């Protein structure tokens, strides 16, 4: 089977992984390897997102978080940034009906203020439209950075302390978690990064403190449901102690 060919999802198997988070890396390299513009790779990557989203519920994955655009990605060329924003907008507009029909709840994390107003409105609209769905909870990180998220949470907590609504002695892990973008989203069990890079790139640093990690050489447009199933299967063989000692 060719690397870019769309393959069917694996048969229904619950691998015991509730929340998978993915750093979708390698779109630009995928296109460059074929002599194509980087945006072609990003469009192919968006198609791959659709396939992985549809495969997740059949693998027992109820929560999926994908890293679409980081706070550092603004450093890329204006052409690429504008192209990515256009891809995000088209994805939301084109997939709204399908996501709703398939029981997917879509949410976004990240600082929205820098995004185009039309894109912000599209994001808010599809969040409201899919709010009642529960077959899969899909979270897309756009203009997201873990340090930025924590900074914003600290500022909000500091404001509550200054206003006398919160005692500093009461601040604990739960307080911080409640002020993050992911306040009502469970922490990821597994974080996957594609393309062979072995960095976490400022992705969910608080939430993924005890997540398992898997780094795969596959570029994101080549990341199939079969590859995901293999990673989930290996996850099931790991022993998660959360700092404790078994036995």
pLDDT tens for 24-46 read: 999 999 999 999 999 999 999 99
Measure the CA–CA gap between 29 and 206, rounded to whole angstroms.
29
pLDDT for 3: 40
Tens digit of each residue's pLDDT, the chain (247 residues): 334 444 455 667 888 899 999 999 999 999 999 999 999 999 999 999 999 999 999 999 999 999 999 999 999 999 999 999 999 999 999 999 999 999 999 999 999 999 999 999 999 999 999 999 999 999 999 999 999 999 999 999 999 999 999 999 999 999 999 999 999 999 999 999 999 999 999 999 999 999 999 999 999 999 999 999 999 999 987 766 556 656 5
Please say whether the beta carbons of 65 and 139 come within 8 A: yes
pLDDT for 236: 80
Distances in whole angstroms, Cα of residue 56 to Cα of each of 38, 59, 103: 27, 5, 12
pLDDT tens for 99-123 read: 999 999 999 999 999 999 999 999 9
Measure the CA–CA gap between 38 and 14, rounded to whole angstroms.
35
SS3 label, residue 112: helix
Q: Give the gyration radius of the chain's Cα atoms.
A: 18
pLDDT for 163: 98
CA 208-179-62 angle, to 5 degrees, is: 45
What dihedral do alpha carbons 66, 70, 74, 77 form, nearest 10°?
-50
Instruction: State CA 67 to chain mean position distance.
Output: 4
Residues with catalytic function:
25, 73
Binding residues for substrate: 26-30, 38, 42, 70-72, 74, 76, 193, 199-201
Q: Three-state SS across 34-91?
A: CCCCHHHHHHHHHHHHHHHHHHHHHHCCCEEEEEEEECCHHHCCHHHHHHHHHHHHHH
pLDDT for 246: 65
Please report which residue ranges of 136-224 form alpha helices under DSSP H. 146-162, 173-178
pLDDT for 4: 40
Topology, domain 19-235: Undecaprenyl pyrophosphate synthetase (3.40.1180)
pLDDT for 241: 58
End-to-end CA distance of the chain: 45
pLDDT for 7: 47
pLDDT for 2: 38
pLDDT for 14: 84
pLDDT for 1: 33
Question: pTM score, two decimals?
Answer: 0.92
Kindly state the DSSP code that residue 197 receives in the 8-state scheme.
-
Q: What is the mean pLDDT of the chain?
A: 93
Please say whether the beta carbons of 20 and 188 come within 8 A: yes
């Amino acid at each position: 089977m060719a690397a870019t060919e769309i393959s069917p999802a694996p048969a229904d198997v619950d691998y015991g992984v509730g929340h998978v988070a993915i750093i979708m890396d390698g779109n630009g390299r995928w296109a460059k390897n074929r002599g194509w513009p980087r945006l072609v790779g990003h469009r192919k990557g968006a198609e791959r997102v659709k396939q992985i989203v549809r495969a997740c519920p059949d693998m027992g994955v109820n929560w999926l978080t994908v890293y679409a655009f980081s706070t550092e990605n603004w450093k890329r060329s204006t052409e690429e940034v504008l192209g990515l924003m256009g891809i995000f907008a088209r994805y939301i507009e084109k997939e709204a009906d399908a996501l709703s029909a398939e029981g997917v709840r879509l949410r976004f994390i990240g600082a929205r203020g820098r995004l185009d107003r039309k894109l912000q409105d599209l994001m808010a609209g599809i969040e409201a439209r899919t709010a009642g769905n529960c077959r899969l909870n899909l979270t897309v990180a756009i203009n997201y950075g873990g340090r930025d998220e924590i900074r914003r949470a600290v500022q909000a907590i500091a404001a509550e302390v200054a206003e006398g609504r919160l005692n500093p002695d009461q601040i604990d892990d739960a307080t911080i978690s409640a002020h993050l973008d992911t306040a009502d989203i469970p922490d990821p069990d597994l974080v996957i990064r594609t393309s062979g890079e072995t960095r976490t790139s400022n992705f969910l640093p608080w939430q993924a403190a005890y997540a398992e990690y898997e780094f795969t050489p596959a570029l994101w447009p080549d990341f199939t449901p079969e590859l995901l199933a293999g990673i989930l299967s290996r996850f099931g063989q790991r022993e998660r102690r959360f700092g404790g000692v078994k036995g």
